[in-house]
Structures are given as C-alpha cells and as structure tokens.
A and B are shown apart, each in its own frame.
Chain A
Amino acid sequence: MTVLIVLLILTFFLVVGLPVALSMAISGASGLYMLGGMQFLTGILRTSPLSTANSYEIITIPMFILMAEFVIISGVANDLFRSASIWVGRLRGGLAIATAFAGAGFGAISGSSTAAAATLASTSMPAMLREGYDPKLAGGVVAISGTLAMLIPPSIALILYGIIADVAIGDLLIGGVIPGLIVTLAIVLTVVVILQIDPSAAPTGRAYPMREKLASLQKVGPMLVLLMAVSGSIYSGLATPTEAAGLGAFVAMLIALWSRKLTVAGFWHALRSTAQTSCMILFIILGAHVFGYFLTLSRVTNDLSAWIGALQMSATMIMVIILIGYLILGFFMDQIAILILTVPVMLPVVMQLGYDPVWFGVMVVVTAEVGMVTPPMGMNVFVVARYTRRPLGELFRGVMPHVFAHLIVIALLLAFPALVLWLPSTM
C-alpha cells in the first residue's frame, strides 16, 4: 500500500514537470517517512547525499563527459561522423546509418552512454536535420546509438555490475563486444526497415568516389589516438578503466588544443557544461538512492525475488520473467539505481537457475539500454533533449522502433548465450 502511494506521488510530480531527481527524492522520502518516521528520513539523509559523490570510481562519469565535450569542440566527432557518412554514400538514410557506426566507434572510447549521446546529439543530429531527415527518425537513432557505449567496452555500467556482483570486470567487458556489434547491426537494420515503410523520412545521400572515401579516413586519425589513449591504455595495462576516463579527457583536450579550436572561453564552457551534466546525473542517482532505500526497507524487492525463486517453471521461463521485470523497472528508474537495487537480490536466483553471472551482467546492460530510451525515465533521451532542445515526446516516439529491435536482440542472446560467453572463454 505504501509502495503504491509512493509510486503515485512519484508519477504525479514527474507528470507536472518537477525535475526527475527531486521527484524521486521527495517521493522516496515520503515513503521513508511513512515506514519509519523522521528517524528513517534523517538517518538516510545524513549519509546518502555525501556517499553519492564520495568515491573515486565515480569520476568515470564526469571524465567521460568532459572527454565528450572536448571531442565536440575539437571537431573530431564531426570528422568521424562525416567519414562514416561518406562511406555509406548514396544509400537512403545514409546519415542515420552513419550515426549508428559513429555511435559504435565512440562507444569504443566512451564508457558512458550519456556522454556518447551528448556527442552524437551535437554532431550527427544537426547534420541530419539540415539534410531534411524526419526529426523523429534522427532523434531516435541518435538516442539509441548513444547506448552502444554502455555495451561496447569500456563500459561504466558493466564495471559497476562487476563491482556489485563481484564478477571479473575483464570478462564482462569482453563479453559486451559481440552483443555490441549485434546491436549496431540491429540499429542499422531498423533504419533500413523504417525507410522501407516510409521512404520520405530520409533523403538519399550522394555518392563519393573511392579517392574521397580514402581521404576521409585521414580525418579519423585523432579518433584513433583517442582510442589508443582510452582502450589502448586499458588493454595494455597502463591504466585501470577508471583512470582511462581521465586520460581520455586529457588527450581529447590536447587534440582540441592541437586542432586550434580550444579557446579559454571554450575550455570554461566545457568544464561548466560537464559540471552541470554530471551534476544532473549524480542528482538523479541521489534521488534514486533515497527511493531505492525506501523500496529496500519496504521489502518489495525481496518479496519479489523470493516469489520468482519459488516459481515452478523452466529456467528459461523464469529468466524471461526476470528480463521483463528489468524492462519494466527500466521504464521508471535510473539504470544505475536498478543495478544497485536488484543485482544483490537477483544474482543468487539467477545463478541458482544455472545462468552465468557474466552473461547475466551483459543481459542486464542490454535491457538497461532499452531503459535508457523508454519513457518516462530515459536518461539518454533526456541528454539528447538537453543538447538538441528537441521535444521529449518526439524523441521518445522516434526511438520506439529501436526498442522493438532491441527486444529481438535480447531474445537472440537468451537463446544463444554463447554469443556473450564465447569471446571471454577464449581469453
């Protein structure tokens, strides 16, 4: 009953347009008050705000966003996108397909899907609108391509899962590679299908001679430098994934300096914008923590996992129910909050069913990708809206076809766990 009232309070404030972080915090706080009075409320408010920020590993969020800001300033992201669009050539919807590839490319550098979405939103989105793309198609492909960054290594979400579940982070990161490529392909195919149905949503591009295609590759050079700085330093052992985020921001800054595009004003703008975007994300995480502690104390998560564990069904059926549960949670909650809240209670159930924790981590992240773009809590869509100032409704509608494509990918990974587990097993 309390849970229902609290969900109603949350929905009410979300609908009237109170910031998401505040809506979660005050609804969670009301719930805590109903459960245990001021004692619960002040106790949680004494500890959780500082703990949201008070950790070294959390720097991956601001550092990857700062890197994205410098990448935008340097024009490198534009070059990557332009190169991808030259190679895609005169295909109808070529820029949308190029966005998916640029998303995968940027995903190989960025561990944060919000940072990747910000980059794509400021590069490929304006280009598509200039060429007369349907804003729904353009916004949708930008928001979903941003999520590739949380699946293709390095990935903050997988690192966080590894920390919560005590699973080797290396296996998780490698496990994300093949699913990441499958999702990229799914995005491309979705664009192709959309344009089959409605060819007017995107114009054809123009063809480029091979000479120009090759020439465009030169512009990708700085991107490869960045790839070396981030992923290269992780795989060579030079730095941990956390440190690699800081290295990436620094190298992106050097590239922006070297391309003579970084002014003092631009530098300050990048810092302030990063501070605000990180602050927005951390404030939502804080609100989600308060909300999460309420849910934990109300015992619904435990009751739910106990109920699932006791189901008399085949392991696959139970896993389908679990994944549907994750998709539903993803509608309403921040992905990081979902990880913290559910992994400790779900993992024992999942392992008892005989599933591999690495596989489950990748599955949780693929469902989280869906959650990043579904209303009402779609962090990636929020970020795209923040950078492009397009209406949220339009973006959410535009991303819908990709959500369906994602569901097919999830079914595929469920049917063939080897798609996730094969690559880590060869390492």
Chain B
Amino acid sequence: ETLRVADSFPVGHYIAENLTKVWMDRVTELTNGEIEFEYYPAEQMGKSKDLMSLAQTGVVDIGYAGVSYLADKLPLAGVGELPEAFTQACHGTGAFWSIAKPGGPLDQAEFAPQGVRMLFVMVLPPYQVMTASKEITGADSFRGMKLRATGGTKEIAVELIGATPIAIPAPETREALSRGTIDGVLFPHSSALPYGLAPELKWGTQDINFGSFVASYVISEQRWQQLSPEVQKAMTDAAEEAIPSACAIAEDLDLEDKQKMVDEGVTFVSLPEADKEKIEADLAGIGEQWAADLDGRGLAGTEILTAFREALDQQAGATQ
C-alpha cells in the first residue's frame, strides 16, 4: 500500500530530512515494505493552510499541520508556540507531544473533534531576537526597534519588549534588513541561514524563548481505521523513535547554525539575569492572556495551557 504524504517544506529542509523522511523510512522498514510513501513537498499539493484539510478529505493520506497556518482551526494547538518556559527543542517537543498525541488532552479538545490524529511532531528551537546593527545589552535595547514577526502571539511578544512588529514575507526579509526597512527579526537561528540573513546580522539573543513553531503531521481518523493494527503499531513506534531523534538533531543544528553565524560576525548575548527574569515574566503573561481569550470563546484555553505547563515541568524533571 502506498500512502501520500504532503507538506510545504522546501526541498532539503531539515525537518523533512530528519523527521518526515526518517519516520517514513522507519514505517516502511517496520512493515517490511508493506507500507510505502509518495512524498509531495514544497506545497505541491496545496498551500500550508490547506494540507490538513486535504488529509481530512482524503486527497492525501498524511498532511502537514503547521499550527500557526491553522490558527483558525487549531487555536488551542497554538499553546506550543507560546513563549513558555523551555529553551530546547526536545523539551518543548516532548511536552507538546505528550498532550497532543492521540488520547492526550489537546487531542481530545481539538484534533479528535475534527476527525484527525497527530502522527508525529516537532516544536522548533525557540525564536530569538537578532538585529542588524543595534547592540543588544539588556531589556531596554529592544525599545523602538522594528522587528520582523508574524503570527499573533509573536507580534505581542515583540510589542511587550517595546519594539514594533512588522509583517514581511520570509524571503523578503534579507532585503528588508539590509535596507533598514526593519532593524531585526524574531527568527529561529536555523532559519536565519537559509534566508541568507547572517551577513546582515550583528547581534542576537540566546537562552530565552520568544515563542516557537509547531510542525506536525496528521492523518484522518477514518483513514487510520482502515489501516491494519500492525501498520498502526508500526506508525506509532516509528513516531516514538523519530520524534526524539529529530528534535535532538534540531538542537544540534541550532548550535551549529549559531556557530556559523558567530563565524560570520554575529555576537550572541545572554541578557543580564534580572532583565531576563523581567522579560520572562512579561512573556508568561502572553500565555495567560491567550488562555483567557480562548476561555472567553468557550474553548479550553486555561486547561490546555495548564496541561502544557505541567508537561513542561515533567519533561524538565525527567531530563535532570
């Protein structure tokens, strides 16, 4: 049997290479070749925001669900993109997976009601502020800067530190930086290199979470039920292997990319402890505001935020 998998990552993207393809290969291996995949990358089957719908309607079997592209349909899943208390990809990924996997509270609240189940996921290393020329020394450094940020909670994060969020398509970012349309970006380290930002950047933050990005893949419940129990088990097992290995690679790549940027002249700054605590306290408020807004719409905002924070604590305990 051949399953169609569709996502929106450019060819060679590290998530596709280290998570998606690894998972697919492992499933084929575990099922002794019974299950094979046709892979449609780079929005070949549809825009990022349409891929989950294409999985729901059966045009593809497995579709990419980039949570921030689906903010209208998956508002609760946005919990993983909040600036919460994690700075490592595996920490965030592990916690998110524990609440979003089939049977978890996020699955019950949001994915199951829409007839989809999450197969595997990665929460990216958190976003950092990186600037073209203005030095970052403390919490006040960001005041008045124009920073590229997209997506609701990231824009709020930018406003919270006193800067102005500017929405610019990612491929136009480098030009915007070099010409001074913006002073800096809110980006993961590993996205700065592919977009060619490194030569334009001078300063960056580290060890702080300004928000993240959740990349997950879903299958419709109906399609899942058509698979044999052996295949289902193979997929679940493959996920339990691929998820931790992929986030570990993402962390390594994050460090590597950071080093490459250092080599190109970018200085990464750890904010003074007092400033960092102040910013983190401010940023935590975003989560509470987010939860309250969703509660107001009759959704389980607080419940999911609490579950995610507990999962983060557990993960932190487990790794120590």
- Residue numbers of A with Cβ under 8 A of B are 36, 39-40, 42-44, 46-48, 51, 54-57, 159, 162-170, 234-242, 293, 296-297, 299, 340-341, 343-345, 347-348
Given contacts A36-B58, A57-B169, A169-B172, 12 further A-B contacts (CB under 8 A): A36-B59, A43-B57, A44-B54, A159-B172, A164-B42, A168-B174, A169-B174, A234-B179, A239-B181, A296-B45, A344-B10, A347-B11
Cβ A293 vs Cβ B46 within 8 A: yes
Complex Cα gap A39–B55 (Å): 11
List the B side residues contacting A57 at CB < 8 Å.
Answer: 169
Contact check, A344 vs B57: say whether CB atoms are below 8 A apart. no
Q: Does B41 count as interface, using CB distance less than 8 angstroms?
A: yes
Query: Once the chains are docked, how many angstroms separate the CA of A176 from the CA of B206?
Result: 38
Report whether B10 and A42 are in contact in the complex, using a CB–CB cutoff of 8 Å.
no
- Which chain A residues lie closer than 8 Å to B57 at the CB level? 39, 42-43, 46
- Point out the residues of chain B lying under 8 angstroms from A235, CB to CB: 179
Given contacts A237-B180, A242-B169, A170 and B174 within 8 Å (CB-CB) = yes
Closest chain A residue to B176 by CB distance?
Answer: A240
- Interface residue ranges, B against A (CB under 8 Å): 4, 10-12, 38, 40-47, 49-50, 53-54, 57-59, 167-169, 171-172, 174-176, 178-181, 194-196
A169 to B175, Cβ gap below 8 A?
Answer: yes
Q: Given A36, A170, A240, which contacts B169 in the complex, CB threshold below 8 Å?
A: A240
> Which 8 A-B residue pairings sit nearest by Cβ, starting from the closest?
A237-B179, A43-B57, A344-B42, A43-B59, A47-B50, A237-B180, A237-B181, A170-B175
Tell me if B's interface is mostly helix, strand, loop or mixed.
loop
Q: Are B171 and A51 in contact (CB under 8 A)?
A: no
Interface pair B181/A296, CB less than 8 Å apart: no
Residue of A with least CB distance to B172: A240
A236 to B180, CA, bound (A): 8
Do B171 and A169 touch (CB < 8 A)? yes
Shortest B176–chain A CB gap in Å is 6
27 A-B Cβ contacts within 8 A? A36-B58, A36-B59, A39-B57, A40-B58, A43-B54, A44-B59, A47-B47, A47-B50, A47-B53, A51-B49, A55-B47, A56-B167, A159-B172, A164-B43, A166-B195, A168-B174, A170-B174, A235-B179, A237-B181, A238-B181, A239-B181, A241-B175, A242-B172, A293-B46, A296-B40, A344-B41, A344-B42
A contact residues around B41 at 8 Å (CB): 344
Also in contact, A47 and B181, with CB within 8 A (given A169-B171, A170-B175): no
Q: When the two chains form their complex, are residues B168 and A293 in contact, meaning their CB atoms are under 8 A apart?
A: no
Are A166's CB and B10's CB within 8 A?
yes
Minimum C-beta distance from A54 to chain B (A): 8
CA distance A244 to B175 in the complex (A): 13
Known: A166-B194, A340-B43. A348 touches B169 (CB 8 A): no
Judge whether B168 and A296 touch: CB under 8 Å: no
> If A43-B58, A340-B43 touch, does A299 touch B38 (CB 8 Å cutoff)?
yes
Chain B residue nearest to A299 (CB atoms) is B38
- Cα A297 to Cα B46 in complex, Å, equals 12
User: How far is B42's CA from A240's CA once the two chains are assembled, in angstroms?
Assistant: 24
State the main secondary structure of chain A at its contact with B. helix
**B194 / chain A contacts, CB cutoff of 8 Å:** 166
| Other-chain residue from A39, A46, A237 in contact with B176 (beta carbon distance below 8 A) | A237
Residues from chain A with a CB closer than 8 A to the CB of B43 are 164, 340, 344
Contacts of A165 in B (CB 8 A): 10
Cβ contact within 8 Å between A240 and B175: yes
Q: Which residues of chain B have C-beta atoms less than 8 A from A344's C-beta?
A: 10-11, 41-44
Q: Which residue of B lies closest to A292 (CB)?
A: B44
Question: Which interface residue of B54, B172, B176, B178 has the most chain A CB atoms within 10 A?
Answer: B172
B168 touches A240 (CB 8 A): yes
A46 adjacent to B179 (CB under 8 Å): no
CB distance from B230 to the nearest CB of A (A): 25
**Of listed B50, B171, B194, residue having the most chain A CB within 10 A:** B171
Distance in angstroms from B42 CB to nearest chain A CB is 3
* B46 close to A48 (CB less than 8 A): yes
Of B44, B49, B196, which is within 8 A of A296 by CB? Answer: B44
A55 to B171, CA, bound (A): 15
* Interface pair A162/B58, CB less than 8 Å apart: no
The answer on a CB contact under 8 Å between A162 and B171 is yes
Give the residue name and chain of the A residue nearest to B46 (CB).
Answer: A47
**Are A240 and B181 in contact (CB-based, < 8 A)?**
yes
CB pair B11 A348 closer than 8 Å: yes
Q: Which residues of B contact A242 (CB under 8 A)?
A: 169, 172
Query: Within the assembled complex, what's the spacing in Å between the Cα atoms of A347 and B40?
Result: 14
> Could you tell me if B195 and A293 are in contact, using CB atoms closer than 8 angstroms?
no
Q: Least Cβ distance of B271 to chain A in Å?
A: 28
**What CA separation (Å) do A365 and B278 show in the bound complex?**
51
Set of chain A residues within 8 Å of B53, measured between Cβ atoms: 43, 46-47
The CB with the most chain A CB atoms within 10 A, among B11, B49, B59, B196, is that of B59
Q: Which residue of A lies closest to B56 (CB)?
A: A43
- Whether A163 and B169, one on each chain, are in contact in the complex, defined by CB atoms closer than 8 angstroms, is yes
- Please give the distance in Å from B310's CB to the nearest CB on chain A: 36
Q: Flag if A166 contacts B171 (CB, 8 Å).
A: yes
CA distance in complex: A51, B49 (Å)? 9
Please measure, in the bound complex, the distance between the C-alpha atom of A240 and the C-alpha atom of B179, giving whole angstroms.
Answer: 10
A239 and B59 CA atoms in complex are apart in Å by: 39
Is A168 a contact of B50 with CB atoms below 8 Å? Answer: no
Q: Count chain B CB atoms within 10 A of each CB in A36, A159, A170, A238 and give the residue with the most.
A: A170
Cα distance A56–B170 in the bound complex, in angstroms: 13
Which residues from B are CB-within-8-Å of A46? 53, 57
> Which residues from chain A contact B42 at a C-beta distance below 8 Å?
164, 343-344
- B50 to A51, Cβ gap below 8 A? yes
A169 to B170, CA, bound (A): 10
A167 to B171, CA, bound (A): 7
**Chain A residues with Cβ under 8 A from B167's Cβ?**
56
Q: Which residues of A have CB within 8 Å of B47?
A: 47, 51, 54-55
Which residues on the B side are within 8 Å of A56 (C-beta)? Answer: 167, 169
Chain B min CB distance to A94 (Å): 38
Shortest C-beta distance, A170 to chain B (Å), equals 4
Give chain B residues whose Cβ lies under 8 Å from the Cβ of A42.
57
Residues of B within 8 A of A239 (CB): 181
- A residues within 8 A CB of B175? 168-170, 234, 237, 240-241
Which residue of the partner chain, among B12, B38, B40, contacts A348 with CB atoms under 8 Å? B12
Query: Using Cβ atoms and an 8 Å threshold, which residues of chain B touch A166?
Result: 10, 171, 194-195
Q: Shortest distance in angstroms between A47's beta carbon and chain B's nearest beta carbon?
A: 4
A241 CB to nearest B CB, Å? 7
